[in-house]
């Protein structure tokens, strides 16, 4: 404690044991101790009292599409990580597609790292990609420190990142299982999507919803689980939308299959019933479903069937959100808003800030193997989000830090204002202003 340079006090510190009054001592960028709230400050340390503002572990968002380089006009490393910092997110993992080149070879990974190295406001790591024909690149990418490998089972929407068929999936997962890596999967069955009615030319959200039926998710997840069981492989199901797949996941976990699953703020806070016709800022794949489906997702978070909540921040330029649900780009821009959006819905349902921290910090950190992230505990990085849980604000897209002022949350009043964000003991954002660039490039196992 004598070498602590910072002491942060609050009546509401969110620790692995729950919420309690405490003082968190920071030394050398790490949590040195979690002490009683009235503990004396070490000589020379900055003594900061948050009062009733809550101190949470910095959020870990393992599902972010930054698109840089190649489509940086959609989103870039500087803008995305600035939005993350303003929203209490201290660690981001970048998805391997929508950039050009995609992160499917070690050489492409190095292109991404060069673009990001001087531009990141928070800690930043990378997923690799599994596409047809790159099975030989998977082990070298793993050795270079990617956190795992993303694949699609249906078309991704960009030609440079094709989907895997079942044989290609088995080949890729066999390669990844050989070094005990992690495959993360966009699980929608292409046959069910092809058989569904097309939303092309339609402004009606109901038509888009019918084009991505729940069976597309369940019929992709069932064989994926079977393959993971047979290969004793680690698989993670991305952005789960269809509640009908939850029993499959729960049974697989109970039987020892190494499967995890996530959902996203938009599936937990927005419903199909409220999407206006032509409002393609709500379009994402898989889609936002009905309120009853949303209730089941919340129940699955509570019982542990779902492991984490991450943004799937997938922005684009405003001109690509044409009011045609068939033609518009599919993706929700929400990186800066995930914490208040989820807290707004969670508090209404009787959940606590400790629950939110478990879903949005601890769970994603565990998924990625980030042992020093995700919890306010001695030895961990001193990554914090300071939240005023009772304060409200109305979302103004032009005031957000991500590159294009488009979001499905525009005009919504949310509970929970992020007052500050700390990364390894350094203040990087305060009251919406990003004040420092302390981010580092991180790698699996480093």
Read off the tokens for 332: 């929700």
Alpha helices in 60-118 (DSSP H): 77-86, 106-116
DSSP-based three-state secondary structure for 46: strand
Read off the tokens for 399: 């005031």
Tokens 């269809």 -> residue: 242
Q: Kindly give, in sequence order, each residue whose CB lies less than 8 Å from that of residue 121, ignoring residues fewer than 6 positions away.
A: 78, 81, 82, 84, 85, 428, 429, 434, 436, 437, 438, 439
Nearest CA to 154 out of 204, 194, 207, 183 is that of 194
- Whether 146 has a pLDDT exceeding 70, the answer reads yes
- Whether 1 has a pLDDT exceeding 80, the answer reads no
Provide mean pLDDT across the span 239-263: 98
DSSP-based three-state secondary structure for 360: helix
pTM over 0.95: yes
pLDDT at 2: 66
Provide mean pLDDT across the span 220-231: 98
Provide mean pLDDT across the span 298-309: 98
- Whether 9 has a pLDDT exceeding 80, the answer reads yes
With contact defined as beta carbons under 8 Å apart, do 89 and 81 qualify? no
For residues 386 and 88, give the distance between their C-alpha atoms in angstroms, rounded to a whole number. Answer: 7
Helix (H) or strand (E) holding 152: strand 149-152
Helix (H) or strand (E) holding 380: none
Read off the tokens for 135: 């099975």
Tokens 């030895």 -> residue: 379
| Segment 390-401, tens digit of pLDDT | 999 999 999 999
| Segment 150-201, tens digit of pLDDT | 999 999 999 999 999 999 999 999 999 999 999 999 999 999 999 999 999 9
pLDDT at 212: 98
Write down how long the chain is: 446
pLDDT at 446: 81
Name the packing angle between helices 135-143 and 106-116 (round to 10°): 40
Using CB atoms within 10 Å of the CB of residue 1, give its burial: 0 to 12 exposed, 13 to 18 middle, 19+ buried.
Answer: middle
Tokens 């029993």 -> residue: 247
């Amino acid at each position: 404690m004598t070498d602590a340079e910072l002491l942060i006090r609050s009546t509401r510190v969110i620790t692995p044991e729950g919420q309690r009054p405490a003082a968190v001592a920071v030394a050398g960028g790490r949590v040195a101790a979690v002490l009683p709230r009235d503990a004396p400050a070490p000589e020379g340390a900055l003594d900061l009292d948050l009062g009733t503002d809550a101190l949470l572990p910095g959020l870990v968002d393992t599902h972010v599409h930054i698109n840089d380089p190649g489509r940086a006009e959609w989103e870039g490393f500087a803008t995305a990580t600035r939005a993350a910092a303003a929203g209490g997110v201290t660690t981001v993992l970048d998805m391997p597609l929508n950039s050009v080149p995609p992160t499917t070879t070690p050489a492409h990974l190095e292109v991404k790292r060069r673009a990001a190295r001087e531009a990141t406001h928070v800690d930043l790591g990378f997923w690799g990609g599994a596409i047809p024909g790159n099975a030989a690149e998977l082990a070298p990418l793993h050795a270079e420190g990617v956190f795992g490998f993303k694949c699609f089972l249906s078309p991704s929407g960009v030609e440079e990142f094709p989907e895997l068929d079942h044989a290609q999936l088995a080949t890729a997962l066999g390669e990844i299982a050989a070094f005990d890596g992690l495959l993360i999967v966009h699980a929608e069955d292409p046959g069910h999507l092809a058989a569904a009615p097309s939303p092309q030319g339609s402004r009606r959200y109901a038509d888009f919803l019918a084009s991505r039926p729940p069976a597309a998710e369940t019929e992709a997840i069932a064989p994926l689980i079977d393959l993971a069981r047979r290969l004793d492989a680690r698989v993670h199901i991305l952005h789960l939308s269809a509640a009908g797949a939850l029993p499959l996941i729960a049974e697989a976990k109970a039987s020892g299959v190494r499967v995890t699953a996530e959902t996203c703020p938009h599936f937990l806070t927005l419903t199909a019933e409220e999407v206006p016709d032509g409002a393609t800022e709500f379009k994402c794949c898989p889609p936002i479903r009905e309120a009853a489906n949303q209730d089941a997702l919340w129940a699955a978070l509570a019982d542990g069937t779902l492991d984490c909540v991450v943004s799937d921040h997938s922005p684009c330029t405003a001109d690509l959100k044409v009011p045609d649900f068939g033609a518009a780009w599919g993706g929700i821009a929400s990186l800066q808003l995930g914490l208040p959006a989820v807290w707004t819905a969670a508090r209404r349902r009787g959940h606590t800030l400790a629950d939110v921290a478990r879903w949005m910090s601890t769970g994603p950190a565990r998924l990625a193997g980030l042992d020093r992230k995700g919890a306010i505990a001695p030895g961990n990085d001193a990554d914090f989000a300071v939240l005023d849980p009772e304060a409200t604000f109305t979302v103004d897209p032009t005031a957000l830090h991500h590159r294009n002022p488009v979001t499905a949350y525009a005009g919504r009043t949310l509970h929970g204002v992020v007052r500050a964000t700390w990364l390894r003991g350094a203040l990087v954002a305060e009251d919406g202003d990003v004040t420092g660039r302390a981010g580092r490039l991180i790698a699996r196992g480093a």
